[in-house]
A and B are shown apart, each in its own frame.
Chain A
């Protein structure tokens, strides 16, 4: 490994160093604020390093990793999600300044967060089976511990157990897929593996591989774990699950899709189209009557992954540049909206409570008590619903443009029906926020940095919705080599 390659790994190295640092700090003197500060600092430094040497062409780093624009952009998304979680965790656990710090230890959460972030960033850089497996497991295992972080909540433990078992099963499916592909091609590099001629065995291997990833993306019919895990986990862990792991896995997913050999495309399009349509319809349909916001967000995640999958399907057809732009914009929009919604829930909840604030009636009248929080949540839901002047609309516009361009009318129809159904439950939440208030809702006091950060993200949601050109005009040069 040359010095230059090390240099390219700088963001990842910074995070690794941060992990060691927080570990040392925890063993030397436990202090949640210092741990949080170190974590945020690490993540911001990694973000700065990434932006500073943003990749504009493909460079391989050893056999395992490559440094290229798509991975770079998804790393940005991952870091944005991780910074949000790191900032939200402080008020959620109760700041130690106020003397009411949590019963759970604080530092380990930050270590796990950084580990998970590391896994995600390595995953989007992977070009080799070994690195894919390692980084996906690093991400998932760290996530697992975070899902069960409050050991006194039974639902959290139940959710984590479900995630452990099912995620383990999915990983073995993934491994099986890789094994079959390796058996037929004899290659371990993703590119070589998929470009060698595919027999039936290799094809089934590829399908298994995609199934493993579809589990992580909670696409129908591999979505069953999602609502329980989302509802059980502490809200910040749910946020991480819905942002980091979705973004990272989708980056890998789209890379694999772009490598599908031509003679296999028609079958893949058919299979993935069904998955996308089923996810969009079922996700939105099941979300309709949810009273729990986390469950609602789980089903909404299923639906939104269905929408992005549409772009993935189209990627096999045409114009790679526009597809990549569409996927990136849509995922960015989805992440931003999810971060805002979960951030508000997180600011209204406490880790030590048996339950997070999660039931819809508990939120009634939030706007009249905490207008800013409610406005931010409203913006988040409007964006998920794809209303104009939010970033979600632009994302939807990209995807619809792609689908119409390819004349994929079935997909368009499913998207339209899904969005129309989706409107109802997003609107239901928004209406609850604006209903006359019933009971007093307490929000985390202080936490100004967190609130400023959330404010910045909310402003970004509006800005990129009102002036989509700011990012949209640049995306092609950000994502596509040459």
Chain B
């Protein structure tokens, strides 16, 4: 633990808020300045998180609400660093894709963007469950605003659905958090919301199961898992491109992160008991997502359903409690973050040009936009899980690991990969090949820069997955040791 950077750590949360407010006011005075301020502050935060990461693990704890022994406690370890960097990188992508796309209320847009970044980073850093819950809810508000104000035709419906699904499910989590703290009081004599202190508790099996379910449902809605997924296609489709990038790239990952950080370590016995159900639902998500994706005619909706399919792999991996599978989950989280964000930004670029997301109104775009087609093909290939790209490692590890525990489930899940090849290629074929249906302008310089960066990232993490694995090694090994204790 390093002492010097204690306060710096909280800056990761407060700086985005501050910069957001600055961007809002600056945009009012000088049109276009908001973009630059947001970009610079995100880059600065990225550097800050690298600096903090280079100092090793760090943590912080301020007394916050003494009556209930609640602390403003943050923990910054390898996994948190990984997620924070992913968040900031994708937020930069979100700024880049919306550089010209946003025409109304631009200052307020940047404020909301940075506000949601602050909330998401808070979720990744929180080491106190009360604080975790606060961030968990707070990140919803700006995200809902992004969908509601800058979204597409059915934005109101999508925003309300998104908000109510996530809020209602997180109420269960709040009850579970409170029950957990009270359980700590009965066992040790004082209330505690600290994640580390709660890990030492032992529960009666039934209590543990109910508590676990409270958390699990909240995270499963966010993940999302079939049958709690129905908010996602609407929210992703109606959100502006930046919103879709953040939603698919990071927000879904908070669900997986919650499972890794809270559900698995706090309730190892209950999760093992629950694993068959969770894994079945995960496989169901994989197959259902793939089938639904295939039948979509809306570019963004298709990518949205493919997200459901991919997050099913994460669920499958996490609940099989195998080292290889857990590594696969982490790899999938990162890889899907990048590849789905990439596909959504591509969908945004196409929509900006032809004012439609219908795949039927595309077709033969390769002829007029060869660069765009090539890069889209790479993104689609990454989504399919082509060897050499990031997603492949994640899915391979997941299947390898979970086969040892749930062979039947894994075999069915593997069919999902075939499904993803079908819908991915189907999408590409309908949009870019075939008779020329529509002329479209090719990628501009700015767009080419950030899409190529995404391509590089996909290949880089595909060929060098150990960077991600090294960062998350500590978290995973502690999970595995918990698992060993829990297993009879």
Distance in angstroms between the alpha carbons of A431 and B158 in the assembled complex = 12
- Near B by CB (< 8 A), chain A positions 406-445 give 412, 416, 419-420, 423-424, 427-428, 431, 434-435
Q: Please, which residue of chain B has its CB at the minimum distance from the CB of A475? A: B67
Known: A388-B138, A397-B178, A400-B175. A427 touches B160 (CB 8 A): yes
Decide: A467 and B64 in contact? CB cutoff 8 A: yes
Decide: A416 and B171 in contact? CB cutoff 8 A: yes
In the bound complex, residues from chain B placing their C-beta under 8 Å from that of A467 are 64
Decide: B160 and A400 in contact? CB cutoff 8 A: no
A-B contact pairs, 18 of them (CB 8 A): A387-B137, A387-B138, A388-B134, A400-B178, A401-B178, A404-B182, A405-B182, A420-B164, A423-B163, A423-B168, A434-B148, A467-B64, A468-B65, A469-B63, A472-B67, A472-B68, A473-B66, A476-B67
Distance in angstroms between the alpha carbons of A469 and B72 in the assembled complex = 11
With an 8 A cutoff between CB atoms, is A161 at the interface? no
Interface of B with A (CB < 8 Å)? Answer: 63-68, 105, 133-134, 137-138, 141, 145, 148-149, 156, 159-160, 163-164, 167-168, 171-172, 174-175, 178-179, 182
A431 touches which of B65, B68, B138, B159 (Cβ 8 Å): B159
Decide: A420 and B168 in contact? CB cutoff 8 A: yes
Q: Please, which residue of chain B has its CB at the minimum distance from the CB of A322? A: B67
Q: How far is the CB of B107 from chain A (nearest CB, A)?
A: 11
Decide: B66 and A404 in contact? CB cutoff 8 A: no
Decide: B178 and A469 in contact? CB cutoff 8 A: no
Decide: A420 and B167 in contact? CB cutoff 8 A: yes
Q: Do most interface residues of chain A lie in helix, strand or loop, or is the interface mixed?
A: helix
Q: How far is the CB of B461 from chain A (nearest CB, A)?
A: 34
Decide: A388 and B168 in contact? CB cutoff 8 A: no
With A401-B178, A431-B148, A475-B67 known, 13 other A-B pairs at CB within 8 A are: A387-B137, A388-B133, A400-B178, A401-B68, A401-B182, A404-B178, A404-B182, A423-B167, A427-B164, A428-B160, A467-B64, A473-B66, A476-B67
Distance in angstroms between the alpha carbons of A473 and B66 in the assembled complex = 6
- Near B by CB (< 8 A), chain A positions 312-337 give 325
Q: How far is the CB of A90 from chain B (nearest CB, A)?
A: 31
Q: How far is the CB of B104 from chain A (nearest CB, A)?
A: 9
Distance in angstroms between the alpha carbons of A405 and B179 in the assembled complex = 7
Distance in angstroms between the alpha carbons of A419 and B160 in the assembled complex = 15
Distance in angstroms between the alpha carbons of A400 and B133 in the assembled complex = 14
Q: Please, which residue of chain A has its CB at the minimum distance from the CB of B140? A: A387
Q: How far is the CB of A328 from chain B (nearest CB, A)?
A: 12
With an 8 A cutoff between CB atoms, is A382 at the interface? yes
Decide: B163 and A427 in contact? CB cutoff 8 A: yes
In the bound complex, residues from chain A placing their C-beta under 8 Å from that of B174 are 397, 400
Going nearest first, the 3 A-B pairs with the smallest beta carbon separation are: A420-B168, A388-B134, A469-B65
Q: Please, which residue of chain B has its CB at the minimum distance from the CB of A385? A: B167
Is the interface on chain A under 10, 10 to 19, 20 to 34, or 35 or more residues? 20 to 34
In the bound complex, residues from chain A placing their C-beta under 8 Å from that of B66 are 469, 473
Q: Please, which residue of chain B has its CB at the minimum distance from the CB of A412? A: B175
Q: Please, which residue of chain B has its CB at the minimum distance from the CB of A413? A: B175
Q: How far is the CB of A444 from chain B (nearest CB, A)?
A: 25
With an 8 A cutoff between CB atoms, is A389 at the interface? yes
In the bound complex, residues from chain B placing their C-beta under 8 Å from that of A387 are 137-138, 141
Distance in angstroms between the alpha carbons of A9 and B156 in the assembled complex = 54
In the bound complex, residues from chain B placing their C-beta under 8 Å from that of A405 are 182
Distance in angstroms between the alpha carbons of A91 and B110 in the assembled complex = 35
In the bound complex, residues from chain B placing their C-beta under 8 Å from that of A473 are 65-67
Interface of A with B (CB < 8 Å)? Answer: 325, 368, 382, 387-389, 393, 397, 400-401, 404-405, 412, 416, 419-420, 423-424, 427-428, 431, 434-435, 467-469, 472-473, 475-476
Q: How far is the CB of A162 from chain B (nearest CB, A)?
A: 34
Q: Please, which residue of chain A has its CB at the minimum distance from the CB of B160? A: A427
Q: Please, which residue of chain A has its CB at the minimum distance from the CB of B133? A: A388
Q: How far is the CB of A394 from chain B (nearest CB, A)?
A: 8
In the bound complex, residues from chain B placing their C-beta under 8 Å from that of A416 are 168, 171-172, 175
Distance in angstroms between the alpha carbons of A123 and B19 in the assembled complex = 49
In the bound complex, residues from chain A placing their C-beta under 8 Å from that of B164 are 420, 423-424, 427
Q: How far is the CB of B123 from chain A (nearest CB, A)?
A: 12
In the bound complex, residues from chain B placing their C-beta under 8 Å from that of A469 are 63-67
In the bound complex, residues from chain A placing their C-beta under 8 Å from that of B163 are 423, 427
Decide: B175 and A420 in contact? CB cutoff 8 A: no
Decide: B138 and A389 in contact? CB cutoff 8 A: yes
Decide: A434 and B65 in contact? CB cutoff 8 A: no
In the bound complex, residues from chain B placing their C-beta under 8 Å from that of A427 are 160, 163-164
Distance in angstroms between the alpha carbons of A382 and B182 in the assembled complex = 27
Q: Please, which residue of chain A has its CB at the minimum distance from the CB of B63? A: A469
Decide: B134 and A434 in contact? CB cutoff 8 A: no
In the bound complex, residues from chain A placing their C-beta under 8 Å from that of B67 are 325, 469, 472-473, 475-476
In the bound complex, residues from chain B placing their C-beta under 8 Å from that of A431 are 148, 156, 159-160
Q: How far is the CB of A388 from chain B (nearest CB, A)?
A: 4
Q: Please, which residue of chain A has its CB at the minimum distance from the CB of B135? A: A388
In the bound complex, residues from chain A placing their C-beta under 8 Å from that of B172 are 416
Q: How far is the CB of B183 from chain A (nearest CB, A)?
A: 10
Decide: A389 and B134 in contact? CB cutoff 8 A: yes
In the bound complex, residues from chain B placing their C-beta under 8 Å from that of A424 are 160, 164
Q: How far is the CB of B80 from chain A (nearest CB, A)?
A: 21
Q: How far is the CB of B336 from chain A (nearest CB, A)?
A: 28
Distance in angstroms between the alpha carbons of A401 and B191 in the assembled complex = 11
Q: Please, which residue of chain A has its CB at the minimum distance from the CB of B179? A: A404
Q: How far is the CB of B29 from chain A (nearest CB, A)?
A: 16
Distance in angstroms between the alpha carbons of A124 and B90 in the assembled complex = 56
Q: Among A382, A434, A472, A475, find the residue whose CB has the most chain B CB atoms closer than 10 A.
A: A434
Q: Please, which residue of chain A has its CB at the minimum distance from the CB of B145? A: A434
Distance in angstroms between the alpha carbons of A435 and B148 in the assembled complex = 8
In the bound complex, residues from chain A placing their C-beta under 8 Å from that of B148 are 431, 434
In the bound complex, residues from chain A placing their C-beta under 8 Å from that of B145 are 434
Distance in angstroms between the alpha carbons of A393 and B137 in the assembled complex = 11
Q: How far is the CB of B155 from chain A (nearest CB, A)?
A: 9
In the bound complex, residues from chain B placing their C-beta under 8 Å from that of A404 are 175, 178-179, 182
Distance in angstroms between the alpha carbons of A393 and B174 in the assembled complex = 11
Q: How far is the CB of B443 from chain A (nearest CB, A)?
A: 32
In the bound complex, residues from chain B placing their C-beta under 8 Å from that of A468 are 64-65
In the bound complex, residues from chain A placing their C-beta under 8 Å from that of B167 are 420, 423
Distance in angstroms between the alpha carbons of A416 and B175 in the assembled complex = 9
Distance in angstroms between the alpha carbons of A267 and B160 in the assembled complex = 41
Distance in angstroms between the alpha carbons of A134 and B385 in the assembled complex = 78
Distance in angstroms between the alpha carbons of A53 and B345 in the assembled complex = 63
Q: How far is the CB of B383 from chain A (nearest CB, A)?
A: 33
Q: How far is the CB of A371 from chain B (nearest CB, A)?
A: 9
Distance in angstroms between the alpha carbons of A32 and B208 in the assembled complex = 64
Q: How far is the CB of B280 from chain A (nearest CB, A)?
A: 26
In the bound complex, residues from chain A placing their C-beta under 8 Å from that of B138 are 387-389
Q: How far is the CB of B299 from chain A (nearest CB, A)?
A: 26
Q: Please, which residue of chain B has its CB at the minimum distance from the CB of A428? A: B160
Decide: A434 and B175 in contact? CB cutoff 8 A: no
Q: How far is the CB of B482 from chain A (nearest CB, A)?
A: 26
Q: Please, which residue of chain B has its CB at the minimum distance from the CB of A468? A: B65
Distance in angstroms between the alpha carbons of A141 and B177 in the assembled complex = 46
In the bound complex, residues from chain B placing their C-beta under 8 Å from that of A476 are 67
Q: Please, which residue of chain B has its CB at the minimum distance from the CB of A371? A: B108
Q: How far is the CB of A377 from chain B (nearest CB, A)?
A: 15
Distance in angstroms between the alpha carbons of A423 and B66 in the assembled complex = 29
Q: Please, which residue of chain A has its CB at the minimum distance from the CB of B159? A: A431
Q: How far is the CB of B150 from chain A (nearest CB, A)?
A: 11
A382 touches which of B105, B133, B141, B149 (Cβ 8 Å): B141
Distance in angstroms between the alpha carbons of A435 and B138 in the assembled complex = 21
Q: How far is the CB of A397 from chain B (nearest CB, A)?
A: 7
Q: How far is the CB of A73 from chain B (nearest CB, A)?
A: 16
In the bound complex, residues from chain A placing their C-beta under 8 Å from that of B65 are 468-469, 472-473
Q: How far is the CB of B111 from chain A (nearest CB, A)?
A: 12
In the bound complex, residues from chain A placing their C-beta under 8 Å from that of B156 are 431, 435
Distance in angstroms between the alpha carbons of A455 and B105 in the assembled complex = 24
Distance in angstroms between the alpha carbons of A147 and B296 in the assembled complex = 57
In the bound complex, residues from chain B placing their C-beta under 8 Å from that of A423 are 163-164, 167-168
In the bound complex, residues from chain B placing their C-beta under 8 Å from that of A325 are 67
